[in-house]
Chain A
Amino acid sequence: MKSLTIKNLSKTYFDPYAGANVTAVHDISLRVEQGEFVSIVGPSGCGKTTLLNMLAGFIPPSGGSIMIDDKPVKGPGADRGVVFQTFALFPWKTVLENVGFGPRMRGLPAADCDRIAREFLSLVGLEHAADRYPNELSGGMQQRVGVVRALANNPDVLLMDEPFASVDAQTRMTLQEELTRIWQERRPTILFITHDVAESVFLGDRVVVLSKGRVLEDMPIALERPRVWEHLIEADTFKALSAQVLHKVRSA
């Protein structure tokens, strides 16, 4: 796991319907330390997905630089694992094959891929689902697979794009707790994008509030770990931090 450094990153599109340039990301500089968990929160249209797509290498930036430690990012690559809002599991591969996909692309022998995949599935209690196809699983289970598929490839940085936005509220809380637990065990560097204020505070070491393509606020979250909803939901510190972040988001 390594650090992620973003310097003066910007993205300008030409919108052919408006006939004008639109700036989605405006001169963002940000650093995520090795093993740090940073949440980025903002209303829709604040440029957070554009930012993540540039970090993942799916779209080229218009200006600025992205570095993993001191290596510049060019295009998509296995050094940055991505967890998608749509899960993006391969429907024609079993759960085991999905999780073993990254290792297989690295050219590891099949037996090793399977071993790694099973090890990571056990992290989220899904060893029993190894031979099933994604469409046979619930949404929550599918995204558990999505998370460990990215982790099994041992990326330097894990990029998560509103990964829990499309599961039901109870499952979402469980997934959030599981994610913090896994993060504490393995300490990956995580950049987590969400529009959910409570989620951003619950998960992050820091919360970055994005507005109109700029960083509006960069706030440390000094909450103890492990974080558990049953405790935090009543805690004044959590409520105060959430209110602070919410205020910033709404002022945007």
Chain B
Amino acid sequence: MNMARQLWSIYLRFTSRFPSLRNIIPFIPLLAAWTLVTELGVFPRAFLPGPTDVLNAFGTLTYKGVLTQYLEDSVVRLAVGAAFGTALGIPLGVLVGLNARIRNAVWPLLLFFQAIGDIAWLPILLVWFGFSLTTMTLVIVYTVLFPIVLNTSLGVRSVSPDLHRAALSLGASKLRVVWEVVLPGALPNIITGLRNGLGYGWRALIATEIIVGTSGIGFMMFDARRAGSVVEILLGMVVLGLLWYLVDGWVLAPIERATGRRWGLVTQ
């Protein structure tokens, strides 16, 4: 008991000195367990390769340029789709949030189409656009769009009416109020929407790549299954997790800290 406490305090002191360790340490037991299971030969190596095998595969595939190429393909697709989805979603969300009539007219449709999730669109999109980049982009745009629209409209509606009034009585035009008050006020929710949207979009992309199958991480994993290479499947999974972790930790979280948290709109 005492020893556990001491270890805990060592951990706390250590991680407060090196905060980035806090992100790494939780993975150590997981890796250790994985190593142990594979080293003990609980499952045949061909079914469950160990961390070192995956690391080796990472080295080889990166060296050959396959992994980097596929990763680039996937990330670019997600970025393009997310850019379109955001560019459509924020204005739509603002419109829906500001105007009760539009909201009443559009809300049931939004919920209806949101329910037909991403890959449920694939069959019809494949009929219309074939195994093409258009199909993949449309799926991602579709997936990213809804969380952004719904969260943006929620954020817009959460801006206090007094802030609208204050801006108007200081001489702002209605359009200016949207820019100066509505958008910054909705920003924490917009970021939440973006976060969810990117998360869903990323998953939808992998699923789409598996089906459309020309390149990308999803394709790599499915292709590896065909070749019976479990190492590459696991590598794909690790890459997916890591990439999301980086995007969230290095891009989205800092934006959140610099805006909503600094302004006191988000507490904890």
Q: Which residues of A contact B262 (CB under 8 A)?
A: 133
Q: How far is the CA of A58 from the CA of B166 in the complex (A)?
A: 10
- Shortest Cβ distance from B163 into A: residue: A88
CB pair B169–A56 under 8 Å, yes or no, is yes
Give complex CA distance A86, B262 in Å.
20
Shortest beta-carbon distance, B10 to chain A, in Å?
Answer: 35
Check if B171 sits within 8 Å of A133, measured CB to CB. no
Q: Which residues of A contact B168 (CB under 8 A)?
A: 57-58, 75-77
Category for how many chain A residues contact B: 20 to 34
Tell which of B160, B165, B173, B263 touches A82, judged by Cβ atoms closer than 8 Å.
B165
Interface size class of B (residues with CB under 8 A): 20 to 34
Q: Which chain B residues border A92 with CB–CB below 8 Å?
A: 184-185, 187, 259, 263, 265
Q: How many A-B contacts at CB < 8 Å in the complex? A: 73
Inter-subunit contact B169/A91 (CB<8 Å): no
Nearest B-chain residue to A84, judged by Cβ: B162
Evaluate contact between A76 and B169: CB separation under 8 angstroms: yes
A246 / chain B contacts, CB cutoff of 8 Å: none
**For window 112-166 of chain A, which residues contact chain B by CB distance below 8 Å?**
133-136, 149-150, 153
Is A78 touching B184 in the complex (CB atoms < 8 A)?
no
With A56-B165, A58-B165, A86-B162 given, is the CB distance from A91 to B265 under 8 Å? yes
Residues 160-201 of A, flagged 1 when their CB comes within 8 A of B and 0 if not, give 000000000000000000000000000000000000000000
CA distance A3 to B122 in the complex (A): 67
Measured in the bound complex, the distance between the Cα atoms of B163 and A102 in whole Å is 13
Interface SS majority for chain B: helix
Q: In whole Å, how far is A186's beta carbon from the nearest beta carbon of chain B? A: 18
**Pair A88/B264 contact, Cβ less than 8 Å:** no
- The answer on a CB contact under 8 Å between A153 and B166 is no
By a CB distance below 8 angstroms, the chain B residues around A81 are 169-170
- A binding-site residues for B, Cβ under 8 Å: 56-58, 75-78, 80-82, 84, 86, 88-92, 101-102, 105-106, 133-136, 149-150, 153
Tell whether B181 is near chain A: CB-to-CB under 8 Å. yes
B176 an interface residue at 8 Å Cβ cutoff? yes
Q: Which residues of B contact A102 (CB under 8 A)?
A: 170-171
Complex Cα distance, B176 from A245, in Å, reads 43
- Tell me if B167 counts as interface (CB < 8 A to partner A): yes
B39 interface residue (CB < 8 Å to A)? no
Which residue of chain A lies nearest to B263 when distances are taken between CB atoms in the complex?
A91
Known contacts A84-B162, A90-B181; decide if A153 and B170 are in contact (CB<8 Å): yes
Within 8 A of A (CB), among B155-196: 160, 162-163, 165-173, 176, 180-181, 184-185, 187
- A101 contacts which chain B residues (CB < 8 A)? 167, 170, 172, 180
A153 CA to B166 CA, complexed, in Å: 12
